[in-house]
Amino acid sequence: MAVVTDYRGLSVGKMMQLRSDVREVAGEYKVAKNNLVRLAIRDTAYQALEDFLTGPNGWVFAYDDPVGLSKALVKFAEENEALTIKGAVLDGTLLEPAQVKGLAALPSLPELQAQLLSLMQAPASRLLRTIQEPGSQLVRLLDALKERQG
């Protein structure tokens, strides 16, 4: 995933914080000249971003989890009005700023993996409880008889 941002008005300290936030989610924030970017994205899946190459641009690249990167970027943009998301490309599809915000609302990859693992373990857990229940009932019955006699 690649996201184009307008960073005008961000202080050096805020830029360092943005780079740090992006790095934490396995991403990278770069500033490059538009002419060089135009040459780099020609005939690639990122060519759709060529329309955004006006004025100074910051480029955010997701190397692992695009949802996690979107969350970090949208959160930073909400806290710092000087950063504007212009657009993005995810798997060759052009995304508008609202779609990047929508992507940030999704669960991240580790959250989805945890949910999937939980769903996969649920039948096995239920089967184990079902198998163990007769033995548990017997133990409770013997314990109740012992209490009555004792």
Question: Can you tell me the mean pLDDT for 40-46?
Answer: 89
89-106 tens-digit pLDDT: 998 889 999 999 988 888
Torsion of CA 99, 102, 103, 106, to 10 degrees: -160
For the stretch 102-150, pLDDT in tens is: 888 888 777 888 888 888 888 888 888 888 888 888 888 888 988 988 6
Q: Mean pLDDT score of the chain, rounded to an integer?
A: 89
In a shared domain, residues 69 and 33: yes
Q: What is the pTM of this model?
A: 0.69
Structural domain tally of the chain?
2
Q: Encode 67-134 in three state secondary structure.
A: HHHHHHHHHHHHHCCCCEEEEEEECCEEECHHHHHHHHCCCCHHHHHHHHHHHHHHHHHHHHHHHHHH
Q: Collapsing DSSP states into helix, strand and coil, what is residue 135?
A: helix
- Assess whether pLDDT exceeds 80 at residue 30: yes
Query: Do 84 and 128 meet the contact criterion of CB atoms below 8 Å apart?
Result: no
Q: Which residues pair with 89 in a beta bridge?
A: 2, 94
Domain that holds residue 26: 2-106
pLDDT over 80 at 23, yes or no: yes
In the 3-class helix/strand/coil scheme, how is 9-58 assigned residue by residue?
CCCHHHHHHHHHHHHHCCEEEEECCHHHHHHHHCCCHHHHHHHHCCCCCE
Say yes or no: 98 and 127 in one domain.
no
- Is the same domain home to 83 and 116? no
Residues in the chain, how many? Answer: 150
Same domain, 83 and 122: no
| Predicted local confidence at residue 134, as pLDDT | 85
Can you give the pLDDT at residue 65?
Answer: 84
80 and 6 belong to one structural domain: yes
How does strand 2-6 pair with strand 27-31?
Answer: unpaired
- Please count the other Cβ atoms lying within 10 Å of the Cβ belonging to residue 94: 16
Mean pLDDT on 4-15 = 92
